[in-house]
Structure 1
Amino acid sequence: MSRLVVISNRVAVPSKDASANQGGLAVALLSALRERGGIWFGWSGETTEHFTGEIHRAEGDGVTTATIDLEEQDIDEYYNGFANRTLWPLFHYRIDLTEFERDFEGGYKRVNARFADTVRPLIGDDDLVWVHDYHLIPLGARLRERGVTNRLGFFLHTPWPPSRLLVSLPSHKRLVEALFAYDVIGFHTEDWLDSFHRYVVDMMGGTFDEDGCVVVGSRRVRAIVAPIGIDTAEFEAAAVSPEARFTMERMQMSSTGRSLMVGVDRLDYSKGLRERFLGYERFLHNHPDRRGLVYLLQVAPPSREKVNTYQEIRADLDALSGRINGEYADMDWVPIRYVNQGYPRPQLAGIYRAARVALVTPLRDGMNLVAKEYVAAQDPQDPGVLILSSFAGAAAQMTDAVLVNPYSAEELADAIDQALSMPRDERRRRWQALIAGVRREDVFWWCDLFLGELAAVKVPVTG
């Protein structure tokens, strides 16, 4: 079995209890690295005055990590700049928030070259190399330039935007051409894959060969749909752990006689938090008899705090939640509990299990694993209801959720009413269908699917 080299912007530090503190992607990649052997390479999250390429190695629980420090300018231009102020909003259909700066792209190119220079000596002749996400799209091409002939895979964890949006990026063609250095590219949904195919055919004259690979000139790549899952068994176990039970009881004690609705999201404009609050407000307006009988716990830890857009989001949500609470709260009830911090996975599992409804309503999302975690945490005898945005990648798999258009306050208000009124038999029927998919297509299934495609590549790209 070939060794695995994982490359991503940030690296999860391995530990014997990683699943308690790491997200689903980290759990899967750490498991794959333990099984195959290999190394996980990326940015340490730390800065250095001058880039040296010095590698910080760590060993733990059968996994090796290798990280590098970046200069402050690298972080400003590559991470805060091109990755999160150009590609992130553009890939989430927010061209109004997209910033096009040459300095940003220069930093993006520079850091991808630095990654390639530093990781190149760590790659053995027969290693499988798996690059992750929009931060590192050009990395495969930079590795090819440095003589890497290994099988290279790339997975995009965000949506792929329609061509009419992507062409607004001055370097759009160069960015897509870089993807043809890889052997296999993975997307979460058919929609994102179709958008990629349409761009390649319409803008680059691409065709498809007899194996279904996309061909441009002499270069070919296999693009596949591989929807990521969660470590379902681990999360189901976490939901009945002592810590989860304590959290669930704590939530129930603080909300006696009231139905808990929960939202758990990074503080990001793509998550539709403003629209969620407005939909909930419309529900309270339309159903005065329900006031005092339900409340929303919104967990929203800050992210990318150095980007101005995210500072504006926090200020806007602080004001909006305060206005809604001021208008509708009573002396013994507050409609929104808005919390700007994260919680360990066992505590989250307990919160999910206590919640009668989960609101997972992003405006655009590559997948969204909160939806799957909520389902995995439910009591099979008395499960809650998942309200899910039609614009989340998860909606393609989770059709038994209550699907909504998050832009419509009326539709979201109606979905909340439907979820709170849903009989137990219907809740159980929907949950049983949802959990079957979450168990079947878990994160290890996803990992095996992608790596199986990559390992099957017969002739790696060499140009």
Structure 2
Amino acid sequence: MARLVIVSNRVAIPEDSGKSVAAGGLAVAVKEAFTSYEGLWFGWSGKVVEDPSEEPELIDRGRVQYAVVDLSPQDHREYYSGFANRALWPIMHYRLGLGAFSRSDYAGYQRVNRIFARALAKLIEPDDIIWVHDYHLLPLASELRGLGIANPIGYFHHIPWPAADVFNTLPASNDLLRGIADYDLIGLQTDPDVHNLSRNLIDELRAIPLGGGSLMVDGRRTRIRSFPIGIDVAGFKEAAENAGANKTVRETMAGLRTRKLLIGVDRLDYSKGVPERMEAVDRFFASNPDQRGNVVYLQITPKSRTEVPEYEELSREVNETVGEINGALGEPNWTPIQYVTKAYPRPVLAGLYRAARVGLVTPMRDGMNLVAKEYIVAQTADDPGVLVLSKFAGASRQLPEALLVNPYDRFEVAEAIRTALYMPRGERIERWKPMVDRMTREDVDWWARNFLTDLENFRTIEREPPRAAAAAE
């Protein structure tokens, strides 16, 4: 049986008991993929050390072995904080004004991918299937090919792939396009993402369409398809059903009394539209003064990437927005916005989603957004809440029954909040039922199985000899 090798920027290593130290979307997805395979999970350890070893640390956990490498301060600064999160991330999310390209950061990005490839190549076996995840590792297949690795290599891009006119503003755009073409299978979240990347390869690298999503690029065949990522539906539903026993959930519901709850859960990131959403809530209260004191908006936003200047500025902006709205509207016995930066475990979030009459998921741009799916799955069948969802989130294509909004228009979002709060129970059930049925069919296991089946079945028509560029470095 073929072994599965998964590569990602970070690795969630389970404790000896088998319990994972992380419950993020990627960690859950990888766990599902390994239910059908023995394998290896490779990536950055999360540690920054002065003199990192070139040899990966190996950790055995039965069916799955974990291999991690440390980064030097320079590597972390240039590869992770620099090019990945100050150049690629904003461009992929259509935020051209926030993109900060640096030649030294790009060199560091390439260098770390080369370090990863050299460490990983020593661990690859002839029959391995390799599945690489996300924008940190776009050049990894090219580096592996240069080291003589001829195994099937797939790539999944968890964030949006922008239109060519946006992506091509990156000075390194053509290099990255050539690098991604060395994957045998490229998975994206939505069909528009597939169109954007395919069109860019055709226009910039003169790729030849072969049909069925396949392209010939510089003599190599690659296939591009959409694989919308799902969630662990059964696990999340169970967590929601049992959440009443959780102290945080009980105390929150007791504090609400008869008030209705709006909820937003997002990592602190400018792509999530948190300050814009708060302004929409402010607009809602301005237009519906009778709802003051009767509705509470809970925004849970753990901080992230605090070493990146743009994120520190965003944190200040959100805090100022919260203060201004609460100061203007709040009463001694009512605070309109409850803003929390603490990260909560899945059982708590599931219970809070279940208690919320309205789920606000309004990113300015998102590859998928699993919070939208979690909110739907957490609801009760006889009295579900209403999802207000950005039409610029990938999830909107699988959840068209939600109230779809333009997150740039705070008046439209405010009106959607009102519509959701006043929606009759019959209509709420009518909207919720097809969404939860779809999420149940298209869960995380469905996603992983489809991608890996495609990767196992896919072979290039004519594979060029491995490129020697990376090996010569």
What is the TM-score normalised by the length of structure 1? 0.97
Could you list the per-position Cα deviations for residues 323-361 of structure 1 after superposition, in whole angstroms to 9, with x for gaps in the alignment? 000000011000000001110100111111111111000
For residue 66 of structure 1, what is the aligned residue in structure 2?
Answer: 67
For residue 184 of structure 1, what is the aligned residue in structure 2?
Answer: 185
Answering whether residue 408 of structure 2 is matched by residue 420 of structure 1, we say no
**What displacement does 1:243 show?**
6.2
Q: Secondary structure of 1:35's match? A: coil
For residue 470 of structure 2, what is the aligned residue in structure 1?
Answer: none
Answering whether residue 152 of structure 2 is matched by residue 151 of structure 1, we say yes
Alignment length (residue pairs): 463
* Larger CA deviation: 20-29 vs 332-341: 20-29
Does the Cα contact within 8 Å between 1:34 and 1:63 map onto a contact in 2? no
Partner Cα separation in structure 1 for residue 454 and residue 403 of structure 2: 33
Shift of the 131–256 alpha-carbon distance from structure 1 to 2, 3 Å rule, reads same
Answering whether residue 356 of structure 2 is matched by residue 355 of structure 1, we say yes
Partner Cα separation in structure 1 for residue 65 and residue 428 of structure 2: 44
**After superposition, where does 1:15-414 map in structure 2 within 5 Å?**
15=15, 16=17, 18=19, 21-60=22-61, 62-241=63-242, 246-414=247-415
Does the Cα contact within 8 Å between 2:13 and 2:21 map onto a contact in 1? no
Does the Cα contact within 8 Å between 1:40 and 1:65 map onto a contact in 2? yes
Give the AA of the match of 1:139. Answer: L
* Larger CA deviation: 112-121 vs 62-71: 62-71
**What displacement does 1:19 show?**
6.7
Give the AA of the match of 1:308. Answer: P
For residue 435 of structure 1, what is the aligned residue in structure 2?
Answer: 436
Shift of the 256–20 alpha-carbon distance from structure 1 to 2, 3 Å rule, reads farther
* Larger CA deviation: 9-18 vs 421-430: 9-18
Q: Secondary structure of 1:122's match? A: coil
Partner Cα separation in structure 2 for residue 192 and residue 294 of structure 1: 37
Partner Cα separation in structure 2 for residue 34 and residue 454 of structure 1: 17
Q: Secondary structure of 2:122's match? A: helix
Does the Cα contact within 8 Å between 1:20 and 1:345 map onto a contact in 2? no
Give the AA of the match of 1:88. Answer: W
For residue 2 of structure 1, what is the aligned residue in structure 2?
Answer: 2
Could you list the per-position Cα deviations for residues 287-313 of structure 1 after superposition, in whole angstroms to 9, with x for gaps in the alignment? 001111001100000000000000000
For residue 11 of structure 2, what is the aligned residue in structure 1?
Answer: 11
Shift of the 32–330 alpha-carbon distance from structure 1 to 2, 3 Å rule, reads same
Q: Secondary structure of 2:331's match? A: coil
Q: Secondary structure of 1:230's match? A: coil
Shift of the 455–110 alpha-carbon distance from structure 1 to 2, 3 Å rule, reads same
Q: What are the ranges of 5 or more consecutive residues in structure 2 without an aligned counterpart? A: 467-473
Shift of the 22–243 alpha-carbon distance from structure 1 to 2, 3 Å rule, reads farther
**What displacement does 1:18 show?**
4.1
Shift of the 20–40 alpha-carbon distance from structure 1 to 2, 3 Å rule, reads closer
Q: Secondary structure of 2:59's match? A: strand
Give the AA of the match of 2:321. Answer: L
Shift of the 343–30 alpha-carbon distance from structure 1 to 2, 3 Å rule, reads same
Could you list the per-position Cα deviations for residues 242-296 of structure 1 after superposition, in whole angstroms to 9, with x for gaps in the alignment? 5665443322101111001100000000000111001000001000011110011
Shift of the 17–234 alpha-carbon distance from structure 1 to 2, 3 Å rule, reads farther
Give the AA of the match of 1:133. Answer: D
Does the Cα contact within 8 Å between 1:25 and 1:230 map onto a contact in 2? no
Shift of the 255–387 alpha-carbon distance from structure 1 to 2, 3 Å rule, reads same
Give the AA of the match of 1:452. Answer: T
Partner Cα separation in structure 1 for residue 439 and residue 13 of structure 2: 26
Partner Cα separation in structure 1 for residue 175 and residue 120 of structure 2: 23
Does the Cα contact within 8 Å between 2:184 and 2:459 map onto a contact in 1? no
**What displacement does 1:59 show?**
2.7
Q: What are the ranges of 5 or more consecutive residues in structure 1 without an aligned counterpart? A: none
Partner Cα separation in structure 2 for residue 170 and residue 54 of structure 1: 32
**What displacement does 1:210 show?**
4.2
What is the TM-score normalised by the length of structure 2? 0.95
Partner Cα separation in structure 1 for residue 9 and residue 60 of structure 2: 19
**What displacement does 1:63 show?**
2.2
Give the AA of the match of 2:406. Answer: N
